Amino acid sequence: MAWFETLPLTAFAVVVLATLLTAAAIGYRGHLWLQNRRGETASESHEHLLSAVLGLLALLLGFTFSLALDRYEARRELVVREANALDAAWLRAQLLEPPNRTEMSNLLRAYLDVRLAWSEADTEADPLARTVALRRALWAATGKAIRSDPNPALSRALLDSMNESFDLAAARRAARRAHVPDRVFTVLLIYALLSAAMLGYSSAAKRKPQRIATVSVMVLLTLALVVILDVDRPRSGAIQVSQLPLEELKGSWQ
């Protein structure tokens, strides 16, 4: 796991902002050192190069944000699909004869509680173990209901909905492990540092530091990087996928 995935977002923002400002200062001082060494009081403007560098940086930021947002949307869609699959299983279980209906209903309620606990937990070990145990119990109860129910269409529909629910649980687990590739984010950070150095180098052409503008650009760049990393953290980030579909489903089963 890369270092930027383990740091808290606040610490990441402080480290990145300080590094970007340092890179800008190095670029500025480096250009002044070259001017003094050559005995120049001013040098040629590099604004065209700076525009090209910042334009490419914006493109890389947009590309990386798109990757993170796609993964966020995939996680959100899977929550809705799992809620729909569980609701279908619940409705079909209500058509069973007692005592299968009561047993399936109780197990589905417990399974939904565990799925909500897994969705909201910082670590998935304990909720995942309970999910596996309840999945086995539900599968055994489904098999028992199918063997004792004379309606093959209902048995098939119940089996399909349970299968879909279990498949979506596995898909959600895989989606939570999908992140923007570390190499992509690392390249973005390196390019941001080089862009900051280029900004400082360009501002030294006429010996004008332009501190307010430079700091403003670095703060905005840091915010963009923090948002990308936040969206890409399905457990520890501040931007989380809403579990409202599952919560509403739990309320409707009471």
Per the prediction, the chain carries an average pLDDT of 88
| Angstrom distance (rounded) from CA 232 to CA 68 | 5
Please tell me the pTM assigned to this model: 0.84
Residues making up the chain, counted from first to last: 254
The DSSP output letter for 214 is: H
Distances (CA, A) of 149 to 63, 134, 136, 138, 153: 53, 22, 20, 16, 10
Please calculate the CA angle 187-241-219 and round it to the nearest 5 degrees. 40
Stretches in the chain below the pLDDT threshold 50:
none
Residue of 49, 44, 18 lying closest to 31 (CA atoms)? 44
pLDDT digits (tens, 9 = 90+) for 134-158: 999 999 999 988 888 778 888 889 9
Q: What is the pLDDT of residue 174?
A: 92
Spatial neighbors of 71 by CB under 8 A, at least 6 apart, are 175, 178, 179, 180, 231, 232, 234
Written as six digits, the tokens of 91 are 């409705």
